A and B are shown apart, each in its own frame.
Chain A
Amino acid sequence: MQIEDDEILQGFIEESLEHLADIETDLLAIEKAGANIDENLVNKVFRAAHSIKGGAGFMGLTVIQELSHAMENILGMIRSRKLVPNPEIVNILLQGSDKLESMINNILSSNDEDITEHLVPLNAIADGNTCQAAAPKPIADPVVDAAPEALINKAALPEPVQQEVAVPVPPKPEPIVPPVSMTPMPAMSPAADEVNSPAQTPQPKADTSIRVPVSLLDSLMTLAGELVLSRNQLLQTIGSNDLRNAEAVGQRIDLITSELQEAIMLTRMQPIGNVFSKFPRVVRDLSKQLNKTIELTIVGNDVELDKTIIESINDPLTHLIRNSVDHGIEMPADRKLAGKSDKGIIILKAYHEAGQVVIQIHDDGKGLDGEALAASAVSKGLITAEQSMIMSDKEKVNLIFLPGFSMAKKVTDVSGRGVGMDVVKTNLDKLGGQVDILSAVGSGTTISIKLPLTLAIIPCQIITTGGERYAIPQVNLEELLRIPANQVKQRVEKVGNAEVVRLRGNLLPLIRLADVIEADRTYWDQKEAGQKEDRRGSIADRRGKISPFFKTTHKEQEEENESITAERSGTDRRLSASSALNIVVVSTSSMKYGLIVDRLQDSEEIVIKPLGRHLQQCKGYAGATIMGDGRIALILDVSNLARMAHLTSIDGTDRANEVALAAAELTRTQKDKQALLIFRSSEQEQFTVPLNQVERIEKIKRSEIENMGGKRVMQYRGGSLALVTIDDLSTVHPLADQDDLLVIVFNICSKPVGLLAIGPIDAIEITSEVDGVTLRQPGIMGSIIIDGHTTMFVDVFEIVQTLYPNWFAEKPVFDVDKNSGIVPTILIAEDSNFFRNQVKSYMTESGYKVIEGADGAIAWELLQKHFDEISILVTDIEMPNMNGFELTETIRKDPKYNKIPIIALTTLAADEDIAKGKAVGIDEYHIKLDKEKLMSCVHDYIKRVF
């Protein structure tokens, strides 16, 4: 066959592929509609087939022509309602379009293809002996089997189209990510196995052209014009040596460049719908094959992502979707047994979140059993039994990503999943994406993938180590941490060979960047503004060491002497700013760790450039970038750095655990931390409320306050906000007479209420004990000493309750059960007298009986003694002797007591704590002094018990 014109041929290929992509979606819609034929839709498919036929005829592609002609015939019959589309017919049409696609992708050999297997059923349908000729059963097997196979073929092994077509392929966009050497994904079904195995080196199919809206091109052109103008201005300015003007031109160029950058990025953006559109077919075919009923809902088709990402996200997504269909959703019978609808639901969702795109795959299937996964990982020797003991449920579920986990087929039997997930994760890692699994046994699995919008330009944190600059991608960045020299010793600890830092109660493994990449260890001397060699053996060791193994040069010796004299003369060099630790807290999808660097610099948007092949062996770098001064900075690959430092999340937990125990001991002896908002009502007195009760703070003018029916109100968010002052109820100085006031908004009884106050306001964390006796009066819970000032603890609840008693009319006071006469009893475990009394007063007010214990151990004894009476436990977390977690664990272990509801009270609810609490068996978490929520929760539980 003679192909006359490459350009025309290429045009035909592109157009036909576009048509085919639509045909698939449309055919599925036609199938769904059944007898209720949508003519427009059928017409559209008909025209698509017709165009392909026409084009193929013109190009002399006879086989393609023949097949599309046969398909067109049937579509014509459907259009004229001579034929009702049923799944078999649609199947045959779908296979036809698959075949067309594969032929078009291999256009030069298309005329040698044998298409009788498609033509026979097509013509049979056209001849009118549809369902009879192709009896449902014989068709079901070959047809349904073949379809997913063809699909896998398409998805997993894109044929090297470009090589065969004699069309100049423009150089691929910079391989931003080192070309993904995709290991063929281990398949899930034997059928897929056969298909997958032959192709060892699939290469991502890259489109050679891309569609860009003309309006975008126009704006690009305008920007380019502007850029030229600015360049001319710049040249002129340089010639005239006019510095002031230069600044203006500089700004202009800066602006235009950023706009140009954005516009060019837009040209690369593609809707994710391009990838999503094939999944209805995947789910349809696969669920048929497995005899499952599954409904796939797709949300967010129009979310746009960079072309490179769109191209590489295809395989991992296909894999995950297939997993959901194959292993996630149970058989209809099992679903019914589990009390679910027999139709499984898979939701595929894409949306923007915090500058990233999140793709979520949710199924309502059987979920992942963390225990089973952990057991299997232990049996494979991937983790030790001890490690599995201390892992949270989430960590266990995420074990599925461990390399090596997928190797054994057994996992499938135990838990259903785990096949090739490490490959999915590796591929996503390469895209700078993060993947996370949430799963609940019995109710389903949600896999979230977070992806950057683009790979070409990324924001990075620049740091210096060993005199060189490095860039850490912002996506990996959690926070920056500086430990002052005088705290290094307390906060950095050594566990075995690993160093960890205590960060808000958690332990974070530390890696010294210089050690991992074997750069020179230096530190930055601020006084002399220069870097110096660092001779510290370990981080906590702040004294320079002269090792007998290293010959110290004369100069260094001198320096050492100098520093010693300096120390003696009182200015201890060890305590100078230079000894402080700069830590970049980074997170990978599996773990979080601290990277110690010499200096932190700016955050910059950088362009990623690939490293040459001689440097591919350096796993610590994701690429390089060119900085403003023309020099190069290497981009760090934080997950590989962790690997190089032999730090795995499991290791980290393991190591950290030992220290965590010690740390817990320490915090246990400490008092609770309270976050408080400090404010004044009059100049003379200082007040405080728990920060977490405050909804927001507004600045207002006194004139905004209106007096209505004896109450003060103001307009607020389209309604009236009731205003109160502390002196409405309490004997304190009246509200200061000034024009600028603050309104602290609380939410009480689901109504907003504003407390009038004046500044200055401040938020602090404090551990002092609240005195609930001395200054107690209506509206004032007690007092606390903050920075030497006696501060009154305001009870907003009480104030509102007194001023607006009608708000509380429906307050659920527990009625003593008329029949049994039993008063529900609540056990409170709390070490602080103040809080204990406070909580107790809430309970007694509501009509409950209260038993109190001053710590976990006492509460445990009380529980055993009074178990028959106690219906609920309200416990503090931080307590001496036995803390809330331990108390809960103890209770949950005892079959006699393990049914009792446990509500935990905390002052600062950290996510980790909540997770830990849930893990040991705490039912609910509530913030101390949030009376309303606590009580409604207690009521709920009591109602259930009685």
Chain B
Amino acid sequence: MNQTKPTTNKTLVELATFYVGEALCGMDILNIQEINRLMDMTKVPQAPSYVTGILNLRGQIVTIIDLGKKLGLGSTDATLSSRNIIVSSPGEHVGLLVTRLSDVVSADTEKIERAPANMGGIQGEFFSGVYKTDDKLIGILDINKVLRLEEHGH
């Protein structure tokens, strides 16, 4: 899960990047099960506010989390460009609803820096690091932190 962990002889990690609102985030592509644009979700009354709904992914019930809400950036609208990034979490799959996808970036693990306390309005605790490309700054999400249950909902 830890994006900064170098593989045995490579120091490159492929980051799938995407926008949550206006913030550019990324995660190790190996954490991603699939990306889809299924938006036919079932609402779950009384669910934590960051849960958009549940989705039938080939017979599996997948909880969809609005990444924007979870990171404190406000809700993500389901638009033509929005996507669900399905990641595996212990015992289940969880979908992360993002505003739109961006490129896959090969990042040198040694150049990943420690995340600042706050990045574009997002609490630093959700990031495992930041990666600077020529023109962009990618916040690398710590999936475990993002998926961690909060004590009293959100």
Interface residues of A (CB under 8 A from B): 466, 468, 517-519, 609-618, 620-621, 624, 626, 630-634
The answer for the CA separation of A74 and B54 in the assembled complex, in Å, is: 62
Establish whether residues A612 and B48, one from each chain, have CB atoms under 8 Å apart when the complex forms. no
Q: B interface, by DSSP: helix, strand, loop or mixed?
A: strand
- Bound-complex Cα distance A758 to B38 (A): 64
Number of A-B contacts (CB under 8 A): 74
CB-nearest residue of chain B relative to A630?
A: B56
**Which residues B95-146 have CB closer than 8 A to chain A?**
none
Interface: B15 (CB within 8 A): no
Complex Cα–Cα for A616 and B51 (A): 12
Residue among A468, A615, A632 with max Cβ neighbours from chain B (10 Å): A632
Taking a contact as CB atoms under 8 Å apart, the answer to whether A611 and B61 are in contact is yes
> Do the beta carbons of A518 and B46 come within 8 Å of each other?
yes
A614 in contact with B65 (CB, 8 Å)? yes
A620-B46 contact in complex given A613-B92, A614-B149, A615-B51, C-beta closer than 8 Å: yes
C-alpha gap A478/B135 in the complex (Å): 65
Check B40–A466 contact: CB distance below 8 A.
no
The CA-CA distance from A612 to B149 in the complex, in Å, is 11
Complex interface: chain B residues within 8 A of A519 (CB): 43, 45
Return the chain B residue nearest A644 by Cβ.
B46
8 contacts between A and B (CB under 8 A): A468-B45, A519-B43, A612-B62, A614-B48, A615-B51, A626-B56, A626-B59, A632-B55
Docked-complex contact B42 and A633, CB < 8 angstroms: yes
Distance of B53 from chain A, by nearest CB (Å) = 8
B47 interface residue per 8 A CB criterion? yes
Q: Are the C-beta atoms of A615 and B47 separated by less than 8 Å?
A: yes
Task: Pick from A466, A611, A613: contact of B45, CB below 8 A.
Answer: A466
CA distance A387 to B119 in the complex (A): 58
A624 to chain B, nearest CB (A): 5
**In the complex with contacts A631-B40, A632-B61, A624-B54 CB distance below 8 A:** yes
CA of A518 to CA of B92, assembled, Å: 26
Is the pair B54, A612 in contact by a Cβ cutoff of 8 Å?
Answer: yes
The distance in angstroms between the C-alpha atoms of A631 and B43, with both chains bound, is 11
> Given contacts A609-B61, A632-B42, A634-B44, are A614 and B56 in contact (CB under 8 A)?
no
User: Which residues of chain B have C-beta atoms less than 8 A from A626's C-beta?
Assistant: 56, 59, 61
Asked if A468 and B42 sit within 8 Å, CB to CB, the answer is yes
Query: Chain A residues with Cβ under 8 A from B92's Cβ?
Result: 610, 612-613
Q: Any chain A CB within 8 A of the CB of B67?
A: no
Task: Give Cα A618 to B49, complex, Å.
Answer: 12
Q: Kindly state the separation between the CA atoms of A518 and B45 in the bound complex, as whole angstroms.
A: 6
Give Cα A519 to B45, complex, Å. 6
Chain A nearest CB from B20 CB (Å) reads: 18
CA gap between A614 and B43 in the complex, in Å: 13
Is there contact, CB below 8 Å, between B59 and A615? no
From B43, B48, B63, B153, contact of A468 by CB (8 A)? B43
Complex interface bits, B83-103 against A, C-beta within 8 A gives 1, otherwise 0: 000000101101000000000
Bound: A468/B94 CA distance, A:
21
B60 proximity list for chain A (CB < 8 A): 609
Name the CB-closest residue of A to B50: A614
CA distance A517 to B43 in the complex (A): 11
A615, B149: Cβ atoms closer than 8 Å: no
**Which residues on B sit within 8 Å (CB–CB) of A630?**
40, 56
Q: How far is the CB of B131 from chain A (nearest CB, A)?
A: 28
Contact A618 B42 (CB under 8 A): no
CA distance A613 to B89 in the complex (A): 10
A76 CB to closest chain B CB (Å) equals 50
Beyond A610-B61, A614-B94, list 11 extra A-B contacts (CB 8 Å). A468-B42, A612-B54, A612-B61, A612-B94, A613-B89, A615-B47, A618-B46, A620-B46, A621-B44, A626-B61, A632-B55
